[in-house]
Structure 1
Amino acid sequence: MNESVAIKQIIEDLLSGDSEIQKTAAKACYNMKDPSLIPYLKGACKSDNTGVRYFAKKSLFHILESLRKTDDHDLEKIKSLTEKKIYDMILNGDSDELLLAIRAIKQERKVNNQILDALCNVLKKEENEYVISNIISVFSMFSYKKVYPLLIDKLRYKDLRVVANTIEALQYYKSSKTIFILTQFLKHKDNRIKANALSVLMKFSVEGIQKQLVKMLHNGKLWEMDSALYAMIQIDPVVFESEFEWVLTNESDEAIIQKAIDGLQKCKTETAR
């Protein structure tokens, strides 16, 4: 079967409505770099089935990253942007310029209060969920008190990626209100949302959260294990070193094993400091 026929079959499978067929197709997309798959994977990311969403998101991110890495022109442009130019792009640019400005902020750490204030203003009126999730991802890297009420509002957003990014951004705003709100997400059906809530609550030193994260890792569902490992690496890999070793002994999935290896490597980096 040539590649064009294979891609056509995968697209048909992603649209099939059968969750097992969709899951297999979404998983197969991981090793492909064809941009024609992107809209179909985005559709699969909204599936009611957790497994379909997990593999679709994973493959979509991998394809987008591979395409991004080949865009040398954008990389050079990002490096050349000044903070003033980034501010102007946020204020006056179209969606593509706004997203490029966000990449510059995240990759080059070119940011100031004026830029963060401009992003807050865009966030108030922006309707594109992809743009919204990217703006919020900036606030998961930088604390800025003015964005807090906007983040609380976005927790009610229909797009799960927006909600997950919002929870991650709340890590800078420990309060009884934030803790109460985040505990409501611990039983959420989406693995990333649940893992992000656990991660932030553990950073807030909320009792019992570490045990819940370990339980999530051990439940045998790949998508929950993946999210739990991600959260463990982000929180404090040294605390979870024995869990990474447990994965290497007990699991066979290559992606899960690689994430555990990443965790152990980060442990070595942390202990060497």
Structure 2
Amino acid sequence: DHTVVFLQKGPLVFVSVSATHQSEQQLRGELLHVYHQIVSMLTQASITRIFERRKNFDLRRLLFGSEKVLDGLLDTMDSDPSFMLSAVQCLPLPSSSRDALSQILQKAVTPNLVFSFLIANNRLVSIIQEKTVLEDARLKPSDLHLLFNLIRASSAFQAGEIWTPICLPLFNHDCYFYAYVAYLDPPKCTVCLVLLSTDKEAFYAMAECKRKIEEAFASQNALQWVANTQLYCVDDIGVANLKHFLYKPSKMLDHHHQLPQFT
């Protein structure tokens, strides 16, 4: 037996044909993530404008070269609980180490810098939201999933400093941020710095922020903190016969300003 699910978003219709035991709601959620990934590359405003002008436009022309990104998203959703939990997987670190890393990111500022992310092995280490961003305008986990997937799916980001537009659909589906992406530990390429700016001409300012962050990391040997991280295992829980576990806080106080996360 197969389950067929449709999702229409504006002029786009998505179809899922599945032989798994997933519910219609789960399949529709996966289609929604695919739609959001497309919006992250084109923006919703651009898609709407294109189809208002030409109703029979073949969107594949604009998505040429993005096959790895979309395929990577579908593959990741098969195995990553982040999507099911609507949460972000964080790298386990002592709070003192994470605070020190966050303080380094906070000190590397420049006009129009909106968000700073430190990512290690596809896990979030730290995220800094600049004070210029409205407090109630928070990133959603889905936007982080799209950003992580974009970086993970393309080896081009390992070649050096990359400057690319990206839309975060649940933050603002009609506008681009400009992402400065650079790995801090080549050639291993496990620790990634992402700086989001609203200024498309800010590449060199972002590169200067990265230089300051690298200097601060080197002075404190901070990359070694990340490299020495031990992931949680079932034995850490101390429950007999437990085979696997996921942990997600059920409540998050508003003043914590945290993304939903899980272990």
* TM-score, structure 1 normalization: 0.21
Q: Bigger relative contact order, structure 1 or 2, given CA contacts below 8 A and separation 6+?
A: 2
Higher helix share: 1
